[in-house]
């Protein structure tokens, strides 16, 4: 009993001494990073830890071929989609997922799994998979020291989720349907009191839609509050429709209104922009 009491007292002293030591902050070997990338009408979020080679070989050695990998270091890698996306034609609902992979020399398997609380891939349950898709790796000319997971090749409705490490890079194509969502937003917004007339018209212009309703929206905006901005966009829409005479009239009206702008920067900018429309519409100098 005396020996146990002495042991307990010693243990308490050691614990107290350890707590009294100054806490050190050392650089992590695999630092955590978080990426928020605007995509389509929402975003893609990534959270993962970045291992480095430190003289090692990544795939086929440090990360064995044919085994489930957490796609990073430490805890599981997580990806969150702010809206429904499609991967290899398969719909993936908005939400957070564990991102796992099975690297191999000629083909990788990407896995989205519902269990975002698992640590590493040690408790991975295939029954919770949302999807599995294949992707072909490519060989890089130079080794990437620190593993990188990024969103690349951004387009309005598509992007690539890219893993790069050592001499290997592999991309997972992701697509979205922003037009469906934006059109639904416009339809709903036009029922509200504060209608986004010009923003909706700009969307129609930029996506090559029928410009007749867009011109009507700009006219409504001008009726509510005449501005050089509204007339400029009316001129752009009309010129794109090939209605050059009306486009010239709208651009000249915008130039007339912009003269009273006290902000010299915006005055110069919209003077230049209207002159571009006039030139495109064939206005005489």
Same domain? For 74 and 125 the reply is yes
Domain extent at residue 191? 179-280
Same domain? For 161 and 199 the reply is no
* Residue 253 and residue 229 in contact, taking contact as beta carbons nearer than 8 Å: no
pLDDT, tens digit (0-9, with 9 covering 90-100), for 102-147: 999 999 999 999 999 998 888 899 999 999 999 999 999 999 999 9
Domain boundary among 176, 193, 209: 176
pLDDT, tens digit (0-9, with 9 covering 90-100), for 11-44: 555 455 556 678 888 898 999 999 999 999 999 9
What CATH number is attached to the domain comprising 184? Answer: 1.25.40.10
Structurally, how many domains does the chain consist of?
A: 2
Same domain? For 148 and 196 the reply is no
Domain boundary among 125, 160, 176: 176
* Residue 71 and residue 59 in contact, taking contact as beta carbons nearer than 8 Å: no
Return the closest-CA partner of residue 35 out of 145, 114, 150: 150
Same domain? For 153 and 230 the reply is no
Cα(first)–Cα(last) distance of the chain, in Å?
106
Which own/partner contact pairs does 157-162 have at CB distance under 8 Å and 24+ positions apart?
157/40, 159/37, 159/39, 159/44, 161/44, 161/79
Same domain? For 67 and 154 the reply is yes
Work out the burial of residue 66: count CB atoms within 10 Å of its CB; fewer than 13 is exposed, 13-18 middle, 19 or more buried: exposed
pLDDT at res. 243: 96
Whether 10 maps to a domain, the answer reads: no
* Mean pLDDT, residues 204-213: 96
Domain boundary among 146, 176, 206: 176
Q: What does the alpha-carbon distance between residue 103 and residue 108 come to, in Å, rounded to a whole number? A: 5
pLDDT at res. 15: 53
């Amino acid at each position: 009993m005396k020996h146990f009491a002495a042991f307990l007292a010693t243990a308490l002293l050691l614990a107290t001494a350890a707590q009294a030591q100054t806490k050190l902050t050392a650089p992590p070997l695999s630092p955590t990073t978080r990426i928020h990338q605007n995509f389509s009408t929402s975003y893609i979020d990534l959270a993962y830890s970045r291992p480095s080679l430190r003289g090692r070989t990544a795939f086929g050695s440090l990360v064995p071929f044919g085994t489930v990998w957490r796609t990073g270091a430490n805890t599981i890698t997580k990806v969150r989609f702010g809206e429904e996306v499609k991967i290899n034609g398969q719909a993936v609902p908005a939400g957070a997922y564990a991102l796992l992979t099975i690297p191999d020399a000629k083909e990788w398997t990407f896995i989205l799994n519902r269990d975002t609380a698992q640590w590493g891939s040690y408790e991975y349950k295939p029954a919770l998979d949302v999807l599995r898709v294949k992707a072909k790796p490519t060989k890089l000319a130079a080794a990437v020291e620190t593993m990188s997971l990024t969103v690349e090749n951004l387009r309005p409705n598509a992007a690539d989720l890219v893993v790069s490490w050592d001499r290997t890079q592999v991309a997972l194509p992701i697509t979205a349907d922003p037009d469906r969502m934006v059109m639904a937003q416009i339809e709903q917004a036009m029922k509200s009191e504060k209608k986004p007339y010009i923003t909706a018209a700009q969307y129609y212009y930029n996506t090559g839609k029928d410009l007749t309703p867009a011109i009507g929206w700009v006219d409504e905006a001008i009726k509510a509050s005449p501005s050089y901005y509204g007339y400029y966009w009316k001129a752009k829409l009309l010129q794109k429709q090939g209605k050059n005479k009306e486009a010239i009239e709208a651009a000249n009206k915008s130039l007339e209104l912009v003269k009273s702008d006290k902000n010299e920067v915006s005055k110069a900018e919209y003077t230049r922009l209207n002159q571009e429309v006039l030139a495109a519409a064939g206005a005489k100098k």
